[in-house]
């Protein structure tokens, strides 16, 4: 979701996962806490932070896995409301992904989250827990654990994990820059319309972000203030980029 790597800090958490270096910036934990303030119980807030961390880490590892296929050494930074998968030096024989490869890299993040949600869903089904799938806008298909026989904390955590994996996965596929969907839109349109693709992708980004800003304000009312700010900021940034693009070549 991010464009630039944040500076290192003394509060960074550093570890390696499947050979991929991972750095978690303190702002990631802070934003996760802020987004979870709607939970009144401290345990529910804690499980929310854990669910967000796990799902977003899986998202970035999806990017990293496909990046590796092209011969690069990726590393992951979790920061703010999401993360960033960067490319380190390539091995001998590393190749330029090209437009199709870049689209695959961008799509792999949300794809990994959907696989995570599906795996947890079917695992619960196999162990005979009661799980249903709620359909409708904006979730499309959201699994929900409703089994009354499981501990309350486990039920809350699983449903939080489902929510982050499905909702944030879909959110990242919206054609809004710099979300993954915005980058997919740019790569595709520049491929089919070399001269106008970038400008058109920015127009789509600005329109989509504006639409969802209005939708969240009208439909979610006070419950979606952070999401409205998020979409509003991305829409404004796309309009600014579009204005700069019209003034001359970047």
In angstroms, the CA 77 to CA 59 distance is 12
Contacts of 250 (CB under 8 A, 6+ apart): 244
Cα–Cα distances in Å, from 225 out to 39, 121, 170, 185, 232? Answer: 15, 30, 19, 27, 10
Torsion sign across C-alpha atoms 165, 32, 50, 134: negative
Work out the number of other CB atoms within 10 angstroms of the CB of residue 195.
Answer: 8
Q: How many residues does this entry show for the chain?
A: 250
In angstroms, the CA 143 to CA 119 distance is 11
111-130 pLDDT, tens digit per residue, is 999 999 999 999 999 999 99
pLDDT of residue 79: 92
Q: What are phi and psi of 121, to 5 degrees?
A: -60, -50
Which residue in 237, 231, 236 sits closest to 215, CA to CA? 231
pLDDT of residue 155: 95
| Omega before residue 130 within 30° of 0, cis | no
Q: Which residues pair with 84 in a beta bridge?
A: 77
190-249 pLDDT, tens digit per residue, is 999 988 889 999 999 999 999 999 988 888 766 678 888 889 999 999 998 888 876 555
pLDDT at 17 over 70: yes
pLDDT of residue 248: 56
* CB-CB contact of 77 with 98 (8 Å): no
131-179 pLDDT, tens digit per residue, is 999 988 777 889 999 998 899 999 999 999 999 999 999 999 999 998 9
63-107 pLDDT, tens digit per residue, is 999 999 998 999 999 998 789 999 887 776 678 889 999 999 999
Pairing of strands 72-79, 20-24: parallel
Q: In the Cβ-directed half-sphere of 5, how many Cα atoms lie within 13 Å?
A: 15
Strands (E), the chain: 13-17, 20-24, 72-79, 82-90, 131-136, 140-145
Predicted TM-score (pTM) of the model is 0.91
Which residue in 110, 108, 79 sits closest to 174, CA to CA? 110
């Amino acid at each position: 979701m991010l464009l630039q790597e944040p500076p290192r800090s003394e509060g960074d958490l550093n570890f390696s996962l499947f050979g991929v270096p991972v750095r978690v910036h303190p702002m990631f934990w802070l934003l996760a806490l802020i987004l979870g303030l709607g939970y009144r119980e401290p345990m529910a807030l804690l499980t929310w932070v854990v669910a967000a961390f796990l799902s977003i880490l899986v998202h970035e590892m999806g990017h990293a896995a496909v990046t590796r296929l092209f011969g690069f050494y990726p590393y992951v930074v979790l920061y703010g409301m999401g993360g960033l998968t960067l490319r380190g030096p390539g091995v001998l024989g590393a190749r330029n992904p090209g437009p199709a490869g870049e689209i695959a890299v961008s799509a792999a993040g949300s794809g990994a989250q959907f696989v995570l949600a599906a795996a947890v869903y079917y695992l619960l089904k196999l162990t005979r827990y009661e799980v249903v799938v709620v359909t409708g806008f904006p979730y499309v298909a959201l699994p929900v654990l409703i089994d009354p026989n499981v501990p309350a904390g486990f039920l809350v955590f699983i449903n939080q994990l489902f929510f982050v994996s499905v909702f944030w996965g879909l959110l990242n596929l919206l054609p809004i820059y710099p979300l993954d969907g915005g980058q997919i839109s740019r790569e595709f349109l520049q491929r089919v319309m070399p001269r106008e693709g970038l400008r058109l992708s920015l127009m789509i980004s600005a329109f989509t972000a504006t639409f969802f800003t209005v939708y969240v304000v009208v439909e979610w009312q006070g419950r979606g203030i952070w999401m409205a700010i998020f979409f509003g900021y991305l829409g404004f940034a796309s309009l600014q980029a579009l204005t700069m693009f019209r003034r001359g070549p970047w």
